[in-house]
Structure 1
């Protein structure tokens, strides 16, 4: 981000204003924007557009927050033109070295698709366009050098105010984060509200929401298809999509959704269909060994940054086994157990345990079951708390 003050001219004030940073400019502009749209249904936003057009032109790779504000101004003039919004947001990242920023920018598009009253076929086509763009961005692979630094960046503190710019069209009473991230789940929204949340996490949330929205639309459009056939078809689609995206943050958000029941799809699906989607996600997240989530888990000492991901994997495996057994489906329960035995979850927790105070060197836990590992993990946490 460029350093130094920003001088802008607000004609309505009759004088130029000097802002110490982009952060202060965004906060002031957001306040003015919200006041303008509250005072009139169709306010004149010409001055805002002119100002932010100049601001964006000063950056070779414009900050996410500035792009969001400018695109909100453009969308306000043509609400409903989601394809144009997608093109606008993607155009701003054409020269970006970041892998995650282009994905994070898509949050308003996914939100508008969720709230859209367009016919389902049109919505499906637009969601497919979003997922295709996500696939293209994902194929770039991890960026090196400057790109890696960009992907490690944090959102500006003004991010929370910018969320209101996009949520105000749909509700002034509900939590703005709930409006803009309707499929994220409470835990993910809390992390997004935390000051200093990183861009990579936002990108993972956006990909998870787009993925879940498409999955729900597929279920909605499958009336009359036998349940078993539909589950098999959508499991294949889900596994293929996860393999293409290769995004650990996205994978972690999906895991967390399963840990915290019910899935955040209550406004899109019936209770029975929510169970179907849950079963599809159990299959896709547990039965397949994805190479991209194993990076950092095969070294001598388990990468502690992966601990939340592995704990979530352990929890949903345990839940999936119990769920299958409660339904009398022993074959399905055994499939989950076999996937657990052949995964690197037991090895990861053995390595994690050896790093904690009071544990001797272990190659594998004595009892390799999800329940045993959960007990070992909880004991390890308790042991550390007593040190």
Structure 2
């Protein structure tokens, strides 16, 4: 992104506009846009001609324009045709054509997903656009990650501080009283929105949030359309769709945001489905995220798996307890088996024994999932917490976890006999 001054020249008028930097241009323009929209005699009646001229010029100076510039220009275009979501999707995808990798093209889609959520169009029409969005997401997700020769990786690209002003531009059409981030990211959940509000949030994280919202929106529309379908049959159909969709995205950020949503209740879908259907959506997510081991998660180069694996550890315990409360012991056992045969136990125990060796056990013990995940980011999760959760999961199968000088042992017990001893994490 441009760090120097921005000069917008209008030769035919013999004039030019000068801004100290791109940040200043965006902030001033967003403020002017909001003032013009507020002063307009009717919705959609604001005169935004000058903004069109300025940003058309600005865009022409970039081969791969910054996300914030594209968002502002597309907001101007959408203001003129607020019901044409397909044109908005085409416009945003056109600006992303030259972007290396998938992160920025996916992040650009946030306004489309938001408008689909708020849309009062017939359900069939909305679904058609949602399908178009998911098809575009599939195409983008198949792009190879940018190489080092193509510049900075998506994870290192950060949103400008003016990103919050652009969120206001896109949210003002629907509400001026509510938090703009709640309006533009209605299905993101509070934790994801707080992350987006932080200055310097990555474009890659924003892309993951957009993927989660598009995924949840389609899932909820499927639930809405399933009137009269037996619940067990519907859950099976939704699981099949979810399991086939998740690997298409190939996004660790998507997977992490979705896992973190499951740590909180209810899911942020309550405005789309009933309370009973929210439980159904949660069950579908439990099945999709616990019972299936996705290769793209384990094979990601340079990805910090600790937060993902701890999240999966916690939601596995939640899912097991939930199944037992409902009297579904078979489902509880399925969750335990999936966890036991995954890479997670060995990974966590190996990590925990390393922490024990470095003196990390002297640090305070976390008591809540949120605190655990927060500490995970800095590598100080308590070994004691991991031990207790592993013990809880394994003890249901008469397998107990113990400390020893050799590391952590699992002992399989039947009656008074020890049938099997396994050393983990060495």
TM-score (norm 2): 0.81
Deviations, residues 65-123 of structure 1 (Å, cap 9, x unaligned): 00000000000000010000000000001111132000000000000000000000001
Distance in 2, Cα, partners of 1:370 & 1:107: 41
Q: Do the aligned partners of 1:252 and 1:309 also contact (CA within 8 Å) in 2?
A: yes
Cα pair distance change 1:224/1:20, threshold 3 Å: same
**3-state SS, counterpart of residue 369 of structure 1:** helix
Deviations, residues 266-289 of structure 1 (Å, cap 9, x unaligned): 111101100000000000000000
Q: 1:18 corresponds to which residue?
A: 18
Q: 2:132 corresponds to which residue?
A: 129
Distance in 1, Cα, partners of 2:150 & 2:209: 20
Q: Structure 1 residue 143: deviation in Å?
A: 2.3
Distance in 2, Cα, partners of 1:147 & 1:371: 47
Unaligned runs of 5+ in 2: 360-382, 395-400, 402-426
Q: Do the aligned partners of 2:336 and 2:393 also contact (CA within 8 Å) in 1?
A: no
Q: 1:369 corresponds to which residue?
A: 390
Where in structure 2 are the equivalents of 1:263-278 lying within 5 Å? 263-278=267-282
Task: Say which of 218, 221, 224 aligns to 2:222.
Answer: 218
Q: 2:415 corresponds to which residue?
A: none
- 2:292 aligned with 1:288: yes
Q: 1:176 corresponds to which residue?
A: 180
Cα pair distance change 1:247/1:110, threshold 3 Å: same
Q: 2:338 corresponds to which residue?
A: 339
Distance in 2, Cα, partners of 1:99 & 1:248: 12
Q: Do the aligned partners of 1:45 and 1:73 also contact (CA within 8 Å) in 2?
A: yes
**3-state SS, counterpart of residue 60 of structure 1:** coil
Cα pair distance change 1:130/1:75, threshold 3 Å: same
Q: 1:192 corresponds to which residue?
A: 196
Q: 2:357 corresponds to which residue?
A: 358
Deviations, residues 147-188 of structure 1 (Å, cap 9, x unaligned): 572412010000011100000000000000000000000000
Where in structure 2 are the equivalents of 1:124-273 lying within 5 Å? 124-147=127-150, 149-152=152-155, 153-273=157-277
Distance in 1, Cα, partners of 2:2 & 2:387: 55
Q: Do the aligned partners of 2:8 and 2:54 also contact (CA within 8 Å) in 1?
A: yes
Distance in 1, Cα, partners of 2:356 & 2:20: 48
**3-state SS, counterpart of residue 356 of structure 1:** helix
Distance in 1, Cα, partners of 2:225 & 2:24: 46
Distance in 2, Cα, partners of 1:343 & 1:116: 41
Distance in 1, Cα, partners of 2:53 & 2:353: 59
Q: 1:384 corresponds to which residue?
A: none
- 2:39 aligned with 1:39: yes
Q: Structure 1 residue 311: deviation in Å?
A: 1.4
**3-state SS, counterpart of residue 18 of structure 2:** strand
Q: Do the aligned partners of 2:8 and 2:18 also contact (CA within 8 Å) in 1?
A: yes
Q: 2:87 corresponds to which residue?
A: 84
Distance in 1, Cα, partners of 2:162 & 2:107: 16
TM-score (norm 1): 0.89
Structure (1/2) with the larger helix percentage: 1
RMSD value over aligned CA atoms? 2.2
- 2:29 aligned with 1:29: yes
Kindly indicate whether structure 1 or structure 2 has the higher relative contact order, using CA contacts under 8 Å at least 6 residues apart.
1
Distance in 2, Cα, partners of 1:367 & 1:2: 51
Distance in 2, Cα, partners of 1:370 & 1:296: 28
- 2:108 aligned with 1:105: yes
Across the two proteins, how many residue pairs are aligned to each other?
Answer: 363
Unaligned runs of 5+ in 1: 298-302, 377-387
Q: 1:381 corresponds to which residue?
A: none
Distance in 2, Cα, partners of 1:26 & 1:234: 42
Q: Do the aligned partners of 2:6 and 2:20 also contact (CA within 8 Å) in 1?
A: yes
Q: 1:5 corresponds to which residue?
A: 5
Cα pair distance change 1:337/1:168, threshold 3 Å: same
Distance in 2, Cα, partners of 1:82 & 1:113: 8
Deviations, residues 228-266 of structure 1 (Å, cap 9, x unaligned): 111101100000000111111001111111111110011
Q: Do the aligned partners of 2:147 and 2:153 also contact (CA within 8 Å) in 1?
A: no
Task: Say which of 55, 58, 61 aligns to 2:58.
Answer: 55
Structure (1/2) with the larger strand percentage: 2
Q: Which runs of 4+ in 1 moved over 4 A?
A: 365-368
Q: Structure 1 residue 136: deviation in Å?
A: 0.4
Q: Do the aligned partners of 1:103 and 1:203 also contact (CA within 8 Å) in 2?
A: yes
Distance in 2, Cα, partners of 1:191 & 1:371: 31
Q: 1:349 corresponds to which residue?
A: 348
Deviations, residues 354-373 of structure 1 (Å, cap 9, x unaligned): 3314369x9xx988836479
Distance in 2, Cα, partners of 1:46 & 1:352: 58
Cα pair distance change 1:158/1:280, threshold 3 Å: same
